[in-house]
Amino acid sequence: MIKRAKNSKPDNIAPDINSEASTKPAGTAVGTRAVRVALGWMVISCLMFALVMVSIRLFLVDLPSEQSVFLRYTIGALMLLPLIGRSVGRVITSPVRGLMAVRALLHGLGFYSWFFGVLRIPLAEVNAMLNLGPVYATLGAVLFMGETLRFRRIAAILVSFVGALIIIKPGFAEINLGTIAVLIAAPMFAGSDLIAKRLKAFENDRTIIFSLSAGIAAFMMVPAIGVWQPISATNWIGIMAISIAATLGHITLMRSFSGPMWAAQTGKYMQLLFVVLFGITLFDEIPAMSTLIGAFVVLTAVTYIAFREGRNRVAGS
């Protein structure tokens, strides 16, 4: 049996989504403030992840994806060392280190697939398809955590699937390797999120975040060495940019969970806006109307799922 680690209660990096602030009715002063805070942190997180996508396109097109992913997570792990301090040993001695390793493998494969897609298809399309992640997470919770699949959940999942079909346009547009890669990345990230929720019951968030970066760096070391090539000054700018932006994105994402989950999820609409604006201004990528419509359908369904989950938590508390 896995035992909870001593002094492993989640710290201030990621307040519990089931905390008092997150379960107050939205109409109260505390509830209203929690919603605003959650939205604010999520908007910042969305901006950071949009900047990651932009940096990949601007600075890392000529560097092998394996090498870029390895460097991104190696630098990310080094950046987190001051935060984790002496607790770094917990990654090795933790009773849930096996789960940490599985999560790092899933997330690493997801990030590699996502990275591959970012270099090959329009940014708005990447972002739109990646928003299927919460749908996969819902299915995973049903299959592996025993959660009930009610009618509303089924309807939201089906609506999300329709939204994905609108984006992909099977039979009407060519589905290239970039599209397939992003479709693979979405369930990988969803699996990572499900494991992260499990880990939060046993480890503090600093250990969980550090284990992810260190684990992916370890998994990607051999593939990176196999394709290693000289790194230009431009490449280094890109590596540092995505490492800083992604680390800040993860921290602010976790902080957004201090409020209602539905509020944080609603804030994800902003990432599509940021991605579309960057795509138009920097890469002359004007998204197809089908991409925008499909993204709206998917995000609406995802927000509905998050809203229902939030209400169910309050009702069951």
Residue 315 has pLDDT above 60, yes or no: no
DSSP calls for 122-137: -HHHHHHHHTTHHHHH
* Cβ-contact 112, 65 below 8 angstroms: yes
* Cβ-contact 93, 84 below 8 angstroms: no
Residue 263 has pLDDT above 50, yes or no: yes
Residue 32 has pLDDT above 80, yes or no: no
The string of pLDDT tens digits covering residues 269-309 is 778 888 888 999 999 988 888 888 888 887 787 777 666 66
3-state secondary structure of 111: helix
3-state secondary structure of 174: coil
* Cβ-contact 163, 301 below 8 angstroms: yes
* Per-residue tokens: 131: 């928003």
What local confidence, expressed as pLDDT, does residue 168 receive? 72
Residue 204: CB partners within 8 Å, gap ≥ 6?
5, 7, 8, 9, 10, 11, 87
What local confidence, expressed as pLDDT, does residue 22 receive? 41
Report residue 105 CA to chain centroid gap: 15
What local confidence, expressed as pLDDT, does residue 19 receive? 40
Looking at residue 200, its amino acid is: K
Task: Report residue 11's pLDDT band, with 50, 70 and 90 as the boundaries.
Answer: very low
Model pTM score: 0.77
Q: For the chain, what percent of residues have pLDDT higher than 70?
A: 79
Residue 272: CB partners within 8 Å, gap ≥ 6?
124, 127, 128, 131, 292, 295, 299
Burial-class residue 92 by CB neighbours within 10 Å (0-12, 13-18, 19+): exposed
CA distances from 196 to 60, 83, 200, 303 (A): 29, 19, 6, 20
Residue 16 has pLDDT above 50, yes or no: no
